[in-house]
Structure 1
Amino acid sequence: MAEPFFRTLEIVVPRLVSANGTRLTFDGLDNVPEHGGAVLALNHTSYLDWYPGSIAALRRGRRLRFMIKAEMTRVPVISYVIRHIRLIPVDRSAGSGAYDVAVQRLREGELVGLHPEATISRSFELRDFKTGAVRMAHTAGVPIIPVIVWGIHRVWTKDHPKHLWRNNVPVLTKIGPPITPSDDIEATTAELRDTMAAMLEDAQLQYPHPAGAYWVPRRLGGSAPTMAEALRLREAELAERDRKRLQRASKAGAGPLRRTLAGLGRR
């Protein structure tokens, strides 16, 4: 393996995570192919879901190239990391470019990771799936590997404090057999979601869930939002994001207008 920066991360980051007490367990690791392209489809409960997926690939002698929000490239340190480990930035307003890059990487034999839910699930249940993962795999002619990560949301998720240091959190990762996408994209997407829902339930049955804990789904006795409540929170989040975007646009436009009015006043 080349890529010195990536190799450095592969050595340093797992040691830091281990020192903090995060304990990774893998079930079905052999389902990550040792050769050839594949899409790894992961559930999305945390800002750190990428980590167990990446370690699963590493233990199979592979590297996982995640698709990541293009906004992250605005942060200089993260932008440096994205470039040097060849992640795939996705502009949500024009995602075709990232899609084409991902398909090309898959055809070249890379592993590409993404979240079919597109955003973090506040209920910690599976949200509706987008069809992008299946379309991508179908176009590239590669399988989809369903992956469920459970427990990492206790370390860092939406609306709750981070527990990055000395967290002693067990993380279970279940990796299912490959799914070959059919020409019926919607049907394969439904199959993928059904498969991952069953895997998620299986993972939850293996994991202790204290009553009332914020990171435990409501149906398991926790205090996480229900799926309906999570949807309302997401809608409010998007509305606030749009408000701030309009506010920034308004301020940006106000500068030229003030200069124009000032110029007219000097005439």
Structure 2
Amino acid sequence: MAELVYPPVIGVARTMFKALDLRFDIKGTENIPKRGGAVLVSNHIGYLDFVFCGLTARPAKRLVRFMAKESVFRHKVAGPLMRAMKHIPVDRAAGMDAYKHALRALRSGEIIGVFPEATISESFTLKNFKSGAARLAQESGVPLLPMALWGTQRLWTKGHKRDLGRNHFPITVRVGAPMEADPTEPSDTLTERLRTRVQELLEAAQRAYPVRPKNAEDTWWVPAHLGGTAPAPAQAAGRGHH
């Protein structure tokens, strides 16, 4: 079936990024398979993360189908677009439907995008991973593709006004080598290995990030353990909203 909506949406996103004069530093796109299924797994620090994750698959001429919470699909503008791009709605109360939908897509050779932390991390550090991504890869016999984003929180994230001005924000992305998902390995063990790998990629992206906060007010996007004023993980968890 022809992809009538997804490519033009990517075109619009690219135009927007040009207008915002974002500076991209993306490494590891050669790890995205040119064909066959895979589960792309990323940290989650901003509302636009899925767009940046999707960009990493463009050199391989692939489109990523993201698992996203069902409320996005109810939005009058985003909803029809999400459906037309074949993203997968996740109803937290009945997650099995989304799981089966993703499994079918993987078996038919699609790349599925998953944020295993489930919600945006307000501390900008890695939260615990849900095991769904690992289980999907194991059950469908496809590799896991770990990746990490950094800088996207400065554009638009939870609890902060979006900043879509021409700020020349750098966006750093690192895609790791595919990880085999051995079906005999306990999914929790695989999930922990996956999380460790994403953590390594996140630290690599943070080290490569070319800017430091300009002043004391600008430290909100830097995690506490790196000297910033983002809430520490325990504090962020205590806020208790989704």
Q: TM-score, normalised by structure 2?
A: 0.94
Q: Which moved more, 1:28-37 or 1:198-207?
A: 198-207
Q: CA deviation at 1:67?
A: 0.6
Q: For 1:203-252, what per-residue CA distance to the aligned partner results, in whole angstroms no more than 9, with x for missing partners? A: 1111133264100011111100001111101x2x26xxxxxxxxxxxxxx
Say whether residues 1:187 and 2:189 are aligned partners: yes
Q: Which one of 227, 231, 235 corresponds to residue 221 of structure 1?
A: 227
Name the CA distance, whole Å, in 1 between partners of 2:200 and 2:57. Answer: 22
Name the CA distance, whole Å, in 1 between partners of 2:33 and 2:113. Answer: 13
* Letter matched to residue 203 of structure 1: A
Name the CA distance, whole Å, in 1 between partners of 2:12 and 2:46. Answer: 21
Larger relative contact order (CA 8 Å, sep ≥ 6): 2
Structure 2 residue matching 1:39: 3-state secondary structure:
strand
Given that residues 209 and 220 in structure 1 are in contact (C-alpha distance below 8 angstroms), is that contact kept between their aligned partners in structure 2? no
Q: Which one of 232, 238, 241 corresponds to residue 238 of structure 2?
A: 232
Say whether residues 1:141 and 2:147 are aligned partners: no
* Letter matched to residue 34 of structure 1: K
The percent identity for this pair of structures is 40
Q: CA deviation at 1:165?
A: 2.8
* RMSD, aligned CA: 1.3
Q: CA deviation at 1:34?
A: 0.7
Name the CA distance, whole Å, in 2 between partners of 1:42 and 1:49. Answer: 9
* Letter matched to residue 188 of structure 1: L
* Letter matched to residue 229 of structure 2: S
Q: CA deviation at 1:79?
A: 1.2
Say whether residues 1:102 and 2:102 are aligned partners: yes
Name the CA distance, whole Å, in 2 between partners of 1:2 and 1:26. Answer: 28
Aligned residue number for residue 37 of structure 1: 37
Moved over 4 A (4+): none
* Letter matched to residue 171 of structure 1: I
Given that residues 145 and 179 in structure 1 are in contact (C-alpha distance below 8 angstroms), is that contact kept between their aligned partners in structure 2? yes
Q: CA deviation at 1:3?
A: 1.3
**5+ residue gaps in structure 2?**
none
Say whether residues 1:161 and 2:158 are aligned partners: no
Q: CA deviation at 1:195?
A: 0.8
* Letter matched to residue 94 of structure 2: A
- Could you say which structure has the larger radius of gyration? 1
* Letter matched to residue 131 of structure 1: S
Say whether residues 1:81 and 2:84 are aligned partners: no
Name the CA distance, whole Å, in 1 between partners of 2:62 and 2:191. Answer: 25
Q: CA deviation at 1:137?
A: 0.7
Greater helix fraction, Structure 1 or Structure 2: 1
Aligned residue number for residue 25 of structure 1: 25
Q: Which one of 209, 216, 241 corresponds to residue 212 of structure 2?
A: 209
Aligned residue number for residue 92 of structure 1: 92
Name the CA distance, whole Å, in 2 between partners of 1:94 and 1:31. Answer: 33
Name the CA distance, whole Å, in 1 between partners of 2:212 and 2:233. Answer: 18
Q: CA deviation at 1:9?
A: 1.4
Q: For 1:183-210, what per-residue CA distance to the aligned partner results, in whole angstroms no more than 9, with x for missing partners? A: 2111110100111111111111111332
Name the CA distance, whole Å, in 1 between partners of 2:59 and 2:52. Answer: 10
Given that residues 129 and 189 in structure 1 are in contact (C-alpha distance below 8 angstroms), is that contact kept between their aligned partners in structure 2? yes
Q: For 1:4-62, what per-residue CA distance to the aligned partner results, in whole angstroms no more than 9, with x for missing partners? A: 22121122220121111112221111011111000000100011111111111112100
